[in-house]
């Protein structure tokens, strides 16, 4: 599996949420198996929701399976976001650049639920 999310999500939690230096160009990752071997049978899938991923996981397969799970560039688990904010506070202090508006992936609201089906 490969999980492209358009850049360095960990760094977006610390500082530079929309900074160009945290962006990575998107590739056609599902075509990567062809780079390594044109002659081998590989099943490739691109999924954008948890339901699509579950269908791939539940299906029988007769060859190597390569799954590209497309994620939103700001999708990060709450603990990663909290940790990124703590790193920024430690590195830069309470009045550092991370205090500027929209400079980090925001802390999750307590008790907030995300769309459980969508990756992106």
**pLDDT tens by residue, 22-74:** 999 988 898 888 888 777 788 999 999 999 999 999 999 998 899 999 999 99
Q: What is the pTM (predicted TM-score) of this model?
A: 0.73
3-state secondary structure the chain: CECCCCECHHHHHHCCCCCHHHECCCCCHHHHHHHHCCCCCEEEEEECEHHHHHHHHHCCCCCEEEEEECCCCCCCCHHHHHHHHHHHHHHHCCCCHHHCCCCCCCCCCCCCCCCCCECC
Neighbouring CB atoms inside 10 A of 111's CB total: 5
Q: Is the pLDDT of residue 120 over 60?
A: no
Lookup: tokens for 77? 């688990």
pLDDT at position 67: 95
* Contact present, 47 and 118 (Cβ < 8 Å): no
Domain residue ranges in the chain: 9-99
CATH of 9-99, one of 3.40.50.970, 2.60.120.260, 1.10.3720.10, 1.10.10.10: 3.40.50.970
């Amino acid at each position: 599996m490969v999980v492209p999310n358009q850049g360095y999500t960990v760094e977006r939690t610390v500082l530079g949420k929309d900074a160009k230096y945290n962006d990575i160009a998107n590739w056609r990752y599902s075509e990567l198996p062809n780079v390594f071997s044109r002659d081998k049978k590989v099943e490739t899938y691109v999924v954008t929701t948890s339901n699509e991923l579950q269908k791939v996981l539940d299906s029988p397969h007769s060859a190597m399976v390569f799954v590209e799970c497309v994620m939103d560039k700001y999708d990060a688990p709450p603990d990663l976001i909290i940790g990124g904010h703590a790193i920024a506070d430690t590195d830069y202090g309470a009045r550092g650049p991370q205090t500027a508006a929209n400079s980090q992936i925001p802390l999750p609201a307590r008790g907030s639920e995300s769309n459980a089906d969508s990756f992106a």
